[in-house]
Structure 1
Amino acid sequence: MNAPAPGHGDRRTVAVVVAVQAAISLGYFSAMAHLVVHLRDDLELAAGLIGLVLALRNLVQHTLSLPVGALVDALDPVRAGRLACLLRAAGFGLLGTVSSASGLVVAAVLLGTGGALFHPAAQSLLAGLGERARTRGYAAYTVTLHAAAVLGPALGLALLNAGYWLVALTSAGLWLLAASLFSLLRRAPRVPAGRGAVAGVRTALRDRVFMGFVAVSMPAMLLVDQAAVVVPLGGADPGAVTVFACVVAMVSAAVQPWCAAGSRAERPGVLRAGLLFAGGGHLLLAAGAAGRPAGLVAAAVLHGLASGLLQPAVFQTIARHARPPRYGTYLGVRAFFAGLLAFAGGAAVSRAFEAGPRGATAALLVLALIACAAAAAARSLPVAHAGPPHGARDGADEPGPDAVTVPDHGMLTAPGTRR
């Protein structure tokens, strides 16, 4: 029997990864969009404890991203993706059935561990495709995410009438479905046995151009994550939270096809614009926009533009930096540092909201300032040549810490995650 053409294999990989994305995103957003309201109203937790639980999930996920991203490269993205889905199914199942702080901590750890495995696994499969398939595949991947993010909160709101337990168990079922879909994929190429995970992490950390990008893009995770937290913490009801989440997702989905076309996502201006839109969204919320329907929608539009620009900018930049098959390692390094900032910032924001309206306004203004500072720093990002083509021997031709950078006609990456 004839072997399938490379294009056939690429299409199969994209189709399965997009189907997985549809299932897990629908499950994730249906549960997460209403989690803060559940913790606030059903379990009557204080804002500081709510923020700590959410931040703990981020801390576990992104702290583990450093070793796990490299291990996904050294092992098998398909197997790692299946395990990730099983862990997250267990985590969402717990969210709907426990009420104690210890139970919530266990759920947060399971969700964080699953996320640390899932994102490098799924994105490594896409990053390993040819350039044309990679660009189109990631566009389909993110558009599917945002389309599910529109439907997810509405699905969760409908199920919420029976109780949050049904929302959480439905989410768990969708993650189990995603685990079964991974079995449709062949195993991806692995890093040669002699090229360990530690060597891959060391190479990424010595890549000065890449680490410059990491430093500048770190606040993106904090800014995007907090958009979904500060609105319900500010007192918005489930209907308003659903509207906000759906508008953010619709705008993000609308931006993705444009951003994915050609090499737009790799341009420094795209990263800067995404950061500035995020800052503007938090500034609107600081001005009390969440209290008015029009203001809430305007803030959601800005956050949607931010998400729609930042996600492909980060993916394409990492894909350009990473030597195949080292995408998981590079993604893990960036997610580790960004996750630490997101954890510290998320905990601080939640504590500020406990102090009342003045504290909440101050926290939102600080988030806006962080976004503006990161956007200004992005103007000085250096650029360098892309890594060697697919198939190059891992570890060969690795640049030293003083590798020379050259202009690249405005491209953010000639060298260079979430969800």
Structure 2
Amino acid sequence: MSDPGHGDRHTVAVVVAVQAAISLGYFAAMTHLVVHLRENLGLAAGLIGLVLALRNLVQHTLSLPVGALVDALNPVRAGILACLLRAAGFALLGSVSSPSGLIAAAVLLGTGGALFHPAAQSLLAGLAERRRARGYAAYTMTSQAAAVLGPALGLALLNIGYWLVALTAAGLWACAAFLFSLLRHVPSVPTRGGVVTGVRTAMRNRIFLWFAAVSMPTMLLTDQASVVVPLGGADPGAVTVFSCVLAMVSAAVQPWCAAAGRAERPGTLRAGLLFAGGAYLLLAAGAAGRPAGLIAVAVLHGLADGLLQPAVFQTLARLAPPARFGTYLGVRTFFSGLLAFAGGLAVGRLYEWGPRGAATALTALALIACAAAAATRPRTGQKVHGELGAASQGTTDPEPMVGAISQSDLCSRPR
């Protein structure tokens, strides 16, 4: 008989290796993309915001059906296809200059991302509980370590040309597709019904919907951190320092967050949201104009990222039945992605209005973070935490909670 522990270790090793390759390529290319679009191609802030937001829109809109498809098919095959699509997207990104070409690259990148995240995280969510927590910590720490090295790699290659940065990213994603193919004996969990049935099951889980609503702004808040700093006029060197500090702090927080079930506590999500809100308030106050201020902003964003990522994953892994993790992740990502798309467009437009518009955008982001943090009230959050076990045992339509926050309460944003 095969050793299940050995299979779990092999799965973690391969998924972490995949994460190292794709994250190195992603951060090398994406950290300097805004500078490339602004300086090399001469695009306006609004068009830059459109390209970036379109990638988010495609990725997170497709997450709704794709997450369920990963459950119904095979996460390994989905992961291979995801890596190949993103490799093509990065290759195109470095070789085109027209808006239509950039939009095509954004669509490829978004489609690949929609497949990759439920595929990789479904593999980790299927592990034993302790191995899952440690595996996800290694997965995210690897991403943050690559986020430290990636911008520096991109900056070195940028001296030759952004085309080489993008081509290197494409090669690393192609290597990740090969690594995925090494997972040949991943146990499958049978599912009942098809894609529509899976999505309907998730949408009837009211505890899950509450969590999806409360955590919906996290994607917008983490995505815009790497956008507003270069849009505010930071040069490539400052952007690299910002990204590296953010990644190092996030990687340092991950082991603490993974230990003793901290990631599933409501206070972890709330603290991450408040750190993100504080970072945007510092930016609105002009902190990015001073090196010490920019580093302080990076530290706060690093704390936010290091808390929010494991909080979302571990809670989803506990809420979702084993055969439906991809579906639950897809539904939650769909709503979060819609907010990230709308917010990204709004931020790009506001930055075109000059300093006053930029301050308005940053203040709005801070207020969104604070509103979401206020929604994770200890009383309500503790009740959700106490009922997670029932949800993970297959309860698909739990009773509504007293005092739960509605989705509309969290979506209202000051303009």
TM range (shorter): over 0.9
Amino acid at match of 1:272: R
Larger deviation, residues 372-381 vs 260-269: 372-381
Matches within 5 A, 1:58-207: 58-190=56-188, 192=190, 194-207=192-205
Amino acid at match of 2:335: F
SS of match in other structure, 2:389? coil
Of residues 228, 235, 238 in structure 2, which corresponds to 1:237?
235
Unmatched 5+ stretches in structure 1? 406-419
Deviation, structure 1 residue 196: 1.2
Amino acid at match of 2:219: M
What corresponds to 2:408 in structure 1?
none
Q: Is 1:400 paired with 2:403?
A: no
Which segments of structure 1 move beyond 4 Å, counting only runs of 4 or more? none
User: In 2, Cα distance between the equivalents of 1:119 and 1:339?
Assistant: 13
What corresponds to 1:290 in structure 2?
288
What corresponds to 1:368 in structure 2?
366
User: In 2, Cα distance between the equivalents of 1:190 and 1:340?
Assistant: 30
Change (3 A) 1:100 1:404: closer
Matches within 5 A, 1:193-232: 194-232=192-230
User: In 1, Cα distance between the equivalents of 2:180 and 2:130?
Assistant: 23
Change (3 A) 1:295 1:402: same
Deviation, structure 1 residue 325: 1.8
Q: Is the 8 A contact 1:78 1:187 kept in 2?
A: no
Q: Is the 8 A contact 2:319 2:391 kept in 1?
A: no
Deviation, structure 1 residue 386: 1.8
Deviation, structure 1 residue 187: 4.8
User: In 1, Cα distance between the equivalents of 2:307 and 2:123?
Assistant: 21
- Counting matched residue pairs gives 397
TM-score by length of 1: 0.93
User: In 1, Cα distance between the equivalents of 2:388 and 2:122?
Assistant: 21
Which deviations, in whole Å up to 9, do the C-alpha atoms of 1:227-268 show, x marking residues without a partner?
000000001100000000000000000000000012000010
User: In 2, Cα distance between the equivalents of 1:4 and 1:279?
Assistant: 48
Amino acid at match of 2:62: L
Q: Is the 8 A contact 2:272 2:307 kept in 1?
A: yes
Deviation, structure 1 residue 403: 6.3
TM-score by length of 2: 0.93
Q: Is the 8 A contact 1:74 1:190 kept in 2?
A: no
Of residues 384, 389, 395 in structure 2, which corresponds to 1:386?
389
Amino acid at match of 2:108: L
Deviation, structure 1 residue 404: 7.4
Q: Is 1:332 paired with 2:309?
A: no
Q: Is the 8 A contact 2:50 2:345 kept in 1?
A: yes
Deviation, structure 1 residue 197: 1.6
Amino acid at match of 1:216: V
What corresponds to 2:413 in structure 1?
none
Deviation, structure 1 residue 189: 3.9
Deviation, structure 1 residue 160: 0.3
User: In 2, Cα distance between the equivalents of 1:372 and 1:222?
Assistant: 13
User: In 1, Cα distance between the equivalents of 2:389 and 2:83?
Assistant: 32
Q: Is the 8 A contact 2:391 2:398 kept in 1?
A: no
Deviation, structure 1 residue 195: 2.0
User: In 2, Cα distance between the equivalents of 1:190 and 1:338?
Assistant: 28
Matches within 5 A, 1:312-351: 312-351=310-349
Deviation, structure 1 residue 200: 1.2
User: In 2, Cα distance between the equivalents of 1:306 and 1:404?
Assistant: 27
Of residues 275, 287, 296 in structure 2, which corresponds to 1:277?
275
Amino acid at match of 1:95: L
User: In 2, Cα distance between the equivalents of 1:403 and 1:188?
Assistant: 36
User: In 2, Cα distance between the equivalents of 1:40 and 1:351?
Assistant: 14
Q: Is the 8 A contact 1:74 1:191 kept in 2?
A: no
User: In 2, Cα distance between the equivalents of 1:72 and 1:191?
Assistant: 11
Q: Is the 8 A contact 1:266 1:317 kept in 2?
A: yes
SS of match in other structure, 1:325? helix
Deviation, structure 1 residue 385: 3.5
User: In 2, Cα distance between the equivalents of 1:46 and 1:400?
Assistant: 47
